[in-house]
C-alpha cells in the first residue's frame, strides 16, 4: 500500500504540517515521502526539509482537467514529476491551469512528448470515473500516450466498492494506496471542523450545521489507519 500524504499547504485539505511529515518519515520507516498537493506553495519548504533528513520526496500536484471542451465537467488528475525537468513541466501545468479560461487544464492540448517527464495518477476520488458514477458525468478522459496509472483506495466509505467495481470494469491496472490527511483517527473531528471553517471562509458553506464534507464521513484518512493496513 502506497501512502499519499497531503500537507496543510493544501488549505482546508489536511492537518499535517511539514514538520509532522518529517517526524513521520523519520520514525515510520518511510523510504520516500509522496505528497499529493493542490498547489505548489509548500514545494520549496518540503523539498528542503526532506533533503535535510536524506529522504527522497515525490511532489504530485492535483489539477482539474477536461478532455477538450470547457463545458465538460472537470475531473482531477495528479501530475507527478519523474525528474527535475518534470518539476518544471508540472509548475508550468499548474500556472497554465489557473491562468486559463475555466481554471482547468485542457488535456487535448498536451501530447505524450510534452509530458514525457511526468507520470499521471488518476485519483480514487474526484476522477472522471468517480464523476461518471456520482455526478452523472459523461467524461472519459483519453490517457493513451501518457504514462499513467489508476489509484485504488479503501477508506470505509459505503460507496468505495462502487468506484472499485467501475475500475474493474474498465480493466485498468490499479495501485493500492491510502490518502493521509491527519496522524491519528482521533484527529478526525478536528479535521472535520477545520474543513468546515476553511470552506466557510471560501464562501461555499452557509452554516456549520451543513458543512457538506464530501468524501469525509470516515476516519480512515489517517496515518494510524495506514499502519493498521500495512501490518495486517
What would the pLDDT profile of 63-82 be if each residue is shown by its tens digit? 999 887 766 788 999 999 99
The grid coordinates of residue 80 equal 507527478
Overall number of domains in the chain: 1
* Cα torsion through 172, 177, 179, 183, rounded to 10: 170
Q: Answer whether residue 40 shows pLDDT above 60.
A: yes
Indicate the pLDDT class of residue 127, thresholds 50, 70 and 90: very high
Q: At what angle do helices 43-52 and 18-27 cross, to 10 degrees?
A: 30
pLDDT, average across residues 141-169:
92
pLDDT, average across residues 92-109:
84
**Residue 206: predicted pLDDT:** 46
**Residue 204: predicted pLDDT:** 53
pLDDT, average across residues 167-187:
94
Task: Provide the residue range defining the domain that includes 105.
Answer: 2-230
Of 181, 187, 126, 223, which Cα lies nearest the Cα of 12? 181
Q: Answer whether residue 12 shows pLDDT above 70.
A: yes
Indicate the pLDDT class of residue 101, thresholds 50, 70 and 90: low
0.95 cut: is pTM over it?
A: no
The CATH number assigned to the domain holding 90 equals 3.20.20.140
Q: Answer whether residue 215 shows pLDDT above 70.
A: no
Mean pLDDT for the chain? 87
Q: Answer whether residue 84 shows pLDDT above 50.
A: yes
Indicate the pLDDT class of residue 208, thresholds 50, 70 and 90: low
pLDDT, average across residues 114-135:
91
pLDDT, average across residues 205-212:
53
Q: Answer whether residue 94 shows pLDDT above 70.
A: yes
Name the percent of the chain lying above pLDDT 70: 89
Amino acid at each position: 500500500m502506497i501512502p499519499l500524504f497531503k500537507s496543510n499547504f493544501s488549505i482546508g485539505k489536511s492537518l499535517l504540517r511539514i514538520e509532522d511529515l518529517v517526524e513521520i518519515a523519520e520514525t515510520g520507516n518511510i523510504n520516500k515521502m509522496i505528497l499529493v498537493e493542490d498547489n505548489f506553495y509548500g514545494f520549496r519548504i518540503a523539498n528542503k526539509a526532506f533533503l535535510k533528513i536524506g529522504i527522497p520526496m515525490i511532489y504530485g500536484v492535483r489539477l482539474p482537467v477536461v478532455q477538450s471542451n470547457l463545458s465538460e465537467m472537470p475531473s482531477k488528475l495528479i501530475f507527478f514529476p519523474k525528474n527535475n525537468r518534470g518539476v518544471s513541466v508540472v509548475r508550468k501545468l499548474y500556472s497554465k491551469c489557473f491562468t486559463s479560461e475555466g481554471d482547468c487544464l485542457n488535456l487535448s492540448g498536451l501530447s505524450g512528448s510534452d509530458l514525457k517527464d511526468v507520470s499521471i495518477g488518476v485519483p480514487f476520488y474526484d476522477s472522471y470515473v468517480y464523476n461518471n458514477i456520482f455526478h452523472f458525468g459523461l467524461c472519459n478522459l483519453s490517457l493513451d500516450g501518457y504514462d499513467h496509472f489508476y489509484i485504488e483506495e479503501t477508506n470505509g466509505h459505503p460507496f468505495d466498492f462502487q468506484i472499485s467495481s467501475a475500475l474493474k470494469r474498465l480493466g485498468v491496472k490499479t495501485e493500492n494506496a491510502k490518502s493521509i490527511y491527519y496522524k491519528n483517527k482521533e484527529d478526525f473531528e478536528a479535521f472535520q471542523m477545520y474543513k468546515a471553517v476553511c470552506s466557510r471562509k471560501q464562501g461555499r458553506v452557509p452554516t456549520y450545521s451543513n458543512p457538506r464534507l464530501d468524501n469525509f464521513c470516515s476516519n480512515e484518512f489517517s496515518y494510524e489507519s495506514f499502519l493498521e493496513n500495512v501490518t495486517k
